[in-house]
């Protein structure tokens, strides 16, 4: 049965509250019986595009088990064609109606990009560069405008700008996703996970009206 976007978002928020309160139920969602029931198919209720950072495991911070989340993790939660394709695959194949781009505080990929833009480091590997190059357009304006003062504030703003950029790319970089947004109630929202508190803040593109949630 399809889980609509508002309900999916409410589930993630509830799971994150359990995680923060140390009242997780994930063990009951990850049993052998649950695994067996999923052999014949899956219906994940949310797609998460998150960072590979070892401190931000999506299933744990949302207190979800087998079959619940379709997770794409890449350093800096950047959007490249294979990420768009993964989202398209899950949204069209499984009817998943919520996509969350989840950045996090102190993201190393964002910090590395800032350091390079500030001339404090260079990225030698062309593979690593392909990630930095995708983060750069989102954070470069923060430096050139000079409106953000202090290194911590700069990193915070850069993490959010990078999430917004990925949300924007997913929303506008795929005809298939655009059609699902307009015709089938697909939501693509942005969030930030705090390493300090464990809280996920859904700060970008969450519709004001959340009927059903
Ligand atoms: Zn990161």
Contact 142, 86 (CB under 8 A): no
pTM score of the predicted model: 0.95
- Please determine, for residue 182, whether its predicted confidence score (pLDDT) is greater than 50: yes
Give 36 Cα–ligand 1 centroid separation in angstroms: 33
Contacts (Cβ under 8 Å, ≥6 apart) of 40: none
User: Distance, CA 54 to ligand 1 centroid (Å)?
Assistant: 9
pLDDT, mean over the chain? 94
CA distance 115 to 24: 37
The DSSP bridge pattern shows strands 46-50 and 98-104 to be: parallel
- Residue 61: is its pLDDT beyond 50? yes
Scan for tokens 């589930």, then name that residue.
11
CA of 53 to the centre of ligand 1 (A): 5
Question: Tokens standing for 168?
Answer: 């924007």
3-state secondary structure of 153: helix
Question: Does residue 213 carry a pLDDT above 80?
Answer: no
CB 105 within 8 A of CB 158: no
Residue 39 Cα to ligand 1 midpoint, Å, equals: 32
Query: For a pLDDT cut of 70, what percent of the chain falls above it?
Result: 98
Q: With contact defined as beta carbons under 8 Å apart, do 107 and 56 qualify?
A: no
Question: 106 CA distance to ligand 1 centroid (A)?
Answer: 7
Token pair in block for residue 80? 């490249």
Q: Taking a C-beta distance cutoff of 8 angstroms, is the pair 53, 108 a contact?
A: yes
Using CA atoms, how far residue 192 sits from 36, 62, 140, 151, in Å, is 33, 13, 19, 18
User: Tens of pLDDT along 88-147?
Assistant: 999 999 999 999 999 999 999 999 999 999 988 888 899 999 999 999 999 999 988 777
pLDDT at 210: 67
* 103 close to 61: Cβ distance less than 8 angstroms: no
pLDDT of 212 > 50? The answer is: no
User: What order do you get walking across the sheet with 98-104 strand by strand?
Assistant: 69-73, 46-50, 98-104, 187-193, 200-204
Give the Å distance between the CA of 56 and the centre of ligand 1. 8
Confidence of residue 167 (pLDDT cuts 50, 70, 90): very high
Q: What is the pLDDT of residue 1?
A: 78
pLDDT digits (tens, 9 = 90+) for 8-51: 999 999 999 999 999 999 888 889 999 999 999 999 999 999 99
């Amino acid at each position: 049965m399809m889980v609509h976007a508002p309900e999916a978002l409410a589930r993630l928020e509830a799971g994150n509250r359990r995680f923060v309160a140390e009242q997780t139920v994930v063990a009951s969602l990850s049993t052998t019986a649950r695994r067996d029931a999923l052999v014949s198919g899956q219906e994940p209720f949310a797609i998460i595009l998150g960072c590979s950072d070892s401190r931000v495991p999506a299933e744990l911070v949302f207190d979800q088990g087998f079959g619940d989340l379709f997770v794409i993790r890449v350093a800096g939660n950047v959007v490249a064609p294979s990420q768009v394709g993964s989202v398209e695959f899950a949204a069209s194949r499984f009817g998943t109606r919520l996509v969350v781009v989840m950045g996090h505080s102190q993201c190393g990929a964002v910090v590395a990009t800032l350091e390079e833009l500030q001339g404090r480091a260079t990225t030698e590997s062309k593979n690593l560069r392909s990630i930095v190059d995708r983060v750069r357009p989102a954070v470069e304006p923060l430096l050139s405008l000079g409106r953000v003062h202090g290194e911590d504030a700069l990193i915070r703003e850069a993490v959010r700008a990078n999430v917004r950029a990925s949300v924007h790319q997913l929303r506008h970089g795929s005809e298939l996703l655009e059609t699902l947004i307009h015709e089938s109630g697909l939501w693509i929202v942005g969030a930030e996970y705090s390493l300090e508190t464990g809280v996920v803040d859904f700060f970008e593109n969450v519709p004001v009206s959340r009927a059903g949630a």
